[in-house]
Amino acid sequence: MGYQDFWQPYRREVEERFLLMVERLEQIETEETAAEPFRSYFRHTASFLRDLCRLEEEIYAGAWENKSQQDMSTENQALYKEILPQHYAESYGNPTYAVMQMGEIYGKLLGMLYADIRSLIPYAFEGRNFELTIFGELLVEIYNCFEQEAQPEEEEIQQIIYWFFHDYGEIFTEVSVMAQTNPELDFYVRIIMDCDLSDLRYLYHYGFYISDNEIKVAEYLNQMSEEEIQAMADTYTEGYRIGFEVTGKDLSKKKYVDLRYPVGFERLMRAAIHNFRKMGLEPVISRVNEISFSGRGNGKRSVDSTQPNLQYEYDHRADKAVYLDKALVERRLEVLKTAYEARKKEASLYAGPAVVETFGKDGFEPKSCLSAYQFDEKQQKLNVYAASQSMQITNTYMKGEERSFTIIAYPIPEIGPDFKEIFAKTIEINTLDYKLYQDMQQKMIDVLDQGEFVHITGKGKNTTDLMVALYPLKDPSKETIFENCVADVNIPVGEVFTSPVLKGTNGHLHVTQVYLNGLKYLDLELDFVDGMIRRYSCKNFDTEQENQAFLKENLLKHHQTLPLGEFAIGTNTAAYKMGVDYQIQAKLPILIAEKTGPHFAVGDTCYSWAEDTPVFNPDGKEIVARENEISRLRSEEPQKAYFSCHTDITIPYDELDQITVIRHDKSCADIIQDGKFVVPGTEVLNQYL
């Protein structure tokens, strides 16, 4: 059974409905029964969806394969042209334009619907006419409301959308679980393994927006030797294997590795799949979060490509506000549990994600859109509740203490004219001598383990002044506070980290500029009292209200506060120098950036859902600082123990003054002075500073 076989029952279910729906869309394009300005909207939307249906039939029949690369490129650009920045001002995908054309109420509702219909582009390429059919029927049902003499009430349209997601949300949820546990859903894997990767037409098989980044990366990888590609794949897959080894988890009990990668890197992924199969692992690739129900706009995609317009994604990040309520959340959680229960054996074989990320895109500074949907306070709490409950359900069937992961990152051509040099330098950084770093980091840990607190201060414009409380050791000969992190799950090498004690962790954290999850933050400031965020601010927007709302949504993830879940000291000064030399510090991904200075994660600890699994450093000592006062609630009140987020905030070396260990007797020992490492045996790190 393969991908198309899996979807056949769904195709048969809607075979007649699909034809009727397409016929009705054609009628909408010429009818005049709806009044303006709605007539123009429905004609435009019906035409777009009908074109998608034609494309799906062409692809399913195999005729699309005969097109030239130029024709495929032209068609790809046409599909996404309307929401590109230069055209966005007059797109129904722009909430401001939709409201301007159709008014506050209908503009927001119909703009949200249009964004969901645009999200179906990849489904057309996958032959999934089930989704095309049901969304087409939704459009027709709403159109019928506007054919009446009187305009429909807002609640009528909202209820139609609500019940659509209530009824079909069950299928959306079941498919998302199936994608993690069934290698027969192999649409992406077939692209990687079966396509002629020297023929760049394969890039257009996804249905994603294809830019110069994807084309030039694929061309660059095609120029590399088999040995070079294999070396990259070995670094990636060995990191995954070692992650299980160092944490004492049995990889032989697992069967599915969750691949996440950028379009253009298929040659690397093909070599990686061969490696994983030698380990006994089959690739699974989760669904992309396109539609509002699945989390469009959250920046997380299993298979990623350059987004045509990040502002469009940002404007539609809260479209679910149209229909989100407690009943819908509870139903989705019930369906999620049922879906996992039906595949509990397969879910237990899930090993965890193996991630390839990219960096080099220009930083995105979102603009506030007053016409975009926002979650109200009740919905914010529902989102927090849903995330917590979903994680608990998932962890029941895919146990955190049995899973691992790995992440590695490479640049894309958008980084600038030095792309090839930076790519080569990144490979070098990803393969640094982990033994050398392991030894230097152990020397730091030996000093840190003496401490009761660590005091961190910034310099220049950085006003950081933070005291971090450390976990008390009962037996220093067998226990340690900090993990000695080398290149396994987090590639590249270079950090020591711990879960701070919250009580006694007080002070001010400040970064003048930082990119977190693709968003730019200016003058980010957090004040901690007993390890919890007491105050937060930034200077992204003109008003304090906008800044507070931005941070509440994107950093605090709708929580009232978050704990300091991790304190770490990055040691990869070579990565820092690469950033300085090529002037790309702001473009480094958090995976690399967190190794270029001390970093502080707000949210869960690094050991969330696996605190009870013993972890040991290479010297044999057990890392005992795996929980804090909040995650300790996991047995009695798991809904209060976890926040389902973990965001690293790094102070670069050039904004750092001192990191000082304060012992129980109040004596002190410096780890860093004036931004330089001073622990004996770590001086070699300063050669890059």
**What are the tens digits of pLDDT across the range 372-400?**
999 999 999 999 999 999 999 999 999 98
Minimal CA–CA distance to 391: which of 340, 343, 331? 340
Q: Are residues 546 and 636 in the same domain?
A: yes
Written as six digits, the tokens of 15 are 């075979």
Domain membership of residue 170 (yes or no) is: no
pLDDT of residue 2: 64
Q: Are residues 513 and 580 in the same domain?
A: yes
| Region 480-501 average pLDDT | 91
pLDDT digits 0-9 by tens, 256-313: 999 999 999 999 999 999 999 999 999 999 876 689 998 776 656 789 999 999 999 9
Domain membership of residue 283 (yes or no) is: yes
Measure the CA–CA gap between 550 and 664, rounded to whole angstroms: 40
According to DSSP, the β-strands at 668-673 and 646-650 are unpaired
Q: Tell me the pLDDT band of 8, cut-offs 50, 70 and 90.
A: confident
**CB atoms near residue 327 (< 10 Å):** 9
Domain membership of residue 167 (yes or no) is: no
Measure CA 283 to chain center. 19
Range of the domain at 557: 432-688
Measure the CA–CA gap between 661 and 683, rounded to whole angstroms: 18
| Residue ranges of E strands in 244-339 | 256-262, 282-284, 303-304
pLDDT of residue 288: 64
Minimal CA–CA distance to 377: which of 549, 542, 561? 549
Structural element, H or E, at residue 19: helix 15-28
pLDDT over threshold 90, residue 6 = no
pLDDT over threshold 90, residue 586 = no
Q: Are residues 115 and 209 in the same domain?
A: no
- Which residues partner with 496 through β-bridges? 484, 569
Structural element, H or E, at residue 234: helix 226-246
Domain membership of residue 425 (yes or no) is: no
Measure the CA–CA gap between 550 and 541, rounded to whole angstroms: 9
pLDDT over threshold 90, residue 609 = no
pTM of the model: 0.92
pLDDT over threshold 70, residue 1 = no
Burial class (CB in 10 A: 0-12, 13-18, 19+), 228: middle
Written as six digits, the tokens of 344 are 């509990």
What is the DSSP-derived secondary structure letter of residue 325?
Answer: -
pLDDT over threshold 60, residue 216 = yes
pLDDT of residue 357: 94
**277 compared with 435, residue with greater pLDDT:** 277
What is the DSSP-derived secondary structure letter of residue 559?
Answer: -
Domain membership of residue 417 (yes or no) is: no
Q: Are residues 131 and 243 in the same domain?
A: no
Q: Are residues 498 and 454 in the same domain?
A: yes
pLDDT of residue 300: 66
Q: Are residues 559 and 680 in the same domain?
A: yes
Written as six digits, the tokens of 223 are 């120029």
pLDDT over threshold 60, residue 663 = yes
pLDDT digits 0-9 by tens, 131-177: 999 999 999 999 999 998 889 999 999 999 999 999 999 999 999 99
Domain membership of residue 531 (yes or no) is: yes
For residue 245, is it left (φ>0), alpha (ψ between -120 and 50) or beta? alpha
Distances (CA, A) of 152 to 25, 103, 597: 20, 13, 57
- Please write down the HEC assignment for all residues of 453-505: EEEEEECCCCCCEEEEECCCCCCCCCEECCEEECCCCECCCCEEEECCEEEEE
Measure CA 231 to chain center. 26
Q: Are residues 377 and 437 in the same domain?
A: no
Q: Are residues 377 and 436 in the same domain?
A: no
**CB atoms near residue 644 (< 10 Å):** 18
Structural element, H or E, at residue 565: strand 564-570
Q: Are residues 326 and 450 in the same domain?
A: no
Domain membership of residue 587 (yes or no) is: yes
pLDDT of residue 487: 65
Minimal CA–CA distance to 43: which of 161, 157, 139? 139
pLDDT over threshold 80, residue 4 = no
pLDDT of residue 115: 97
Domain membership of residue 539 (yes or no) is: yes
Please state the domain count of the chain: 3
pLDDT over threshold 60, residue 52 = yes
Burial class (CB in 10 A: 0-12, 13-18, 19+), 601: buried
| Region 406-424 average pLDDT | 96
Written as six digits, the tokens of 463 are 């006003």
Longest C-alpha distance within the chain, in Å?
84
Backbone angles phi, psi at 312, to 5 degrees: -60, -45
Q: Are residues 300 and 402 in the same domain?
A: yes
Measure CA 15 to chain center. 35
Minimal CA–CA distance to 326: which of 375, 373, 379, 374? 379
Measure the CA–CA gap between 384 and 677, rounded to whole angstroms: 40
Q: Tell me the pLDDT band of 325, cut-offs 50, 70 and 90.
A: very high
pLDDT of residue 405: 92
Q: Are residues 350 and 398 in the same domain?
A: yes
pLDDT of residue 299: 56
Q: Which of 152, 178, 212 is at the close of a domain?
A: 152
Distances (CA, A) of 635 to 392, 566, 609, 630, 642: 12, 21, 11, 11, 11
Q: Are residues 622 and 671 in the same domain?
A: yes
Written as six digits, the tokens of 667 are 């004596």
- The percent of the chain in helix, strand and coil, each rounded to the nearest 5, is 50, 20, 35
Evaluate whether 336 touches 398 at the Cβ level (below 8 Å): no
First-to-last alpha carbon distance for the chain, in angstroms, is 56
CA dihedral 331, 332, 334, 336 (to 10 degrees): 170
Measure the CA–CA gap between 585 and 582, rounded to whole angstroms: 8
- Which residues partner with 249 through β-bridges? none
Measure the CA–CA gap between 46 and 140, rounded to whole angstroms: 9
Evaluate whether 609 touches 565 at the Cβ level (below 8 Å): no
Evaluate whether 250 touches 352 at the Cβ level (below 8 Å): no
Q: Which of 134, 152, 170 is at the close of a domain?
A: 152
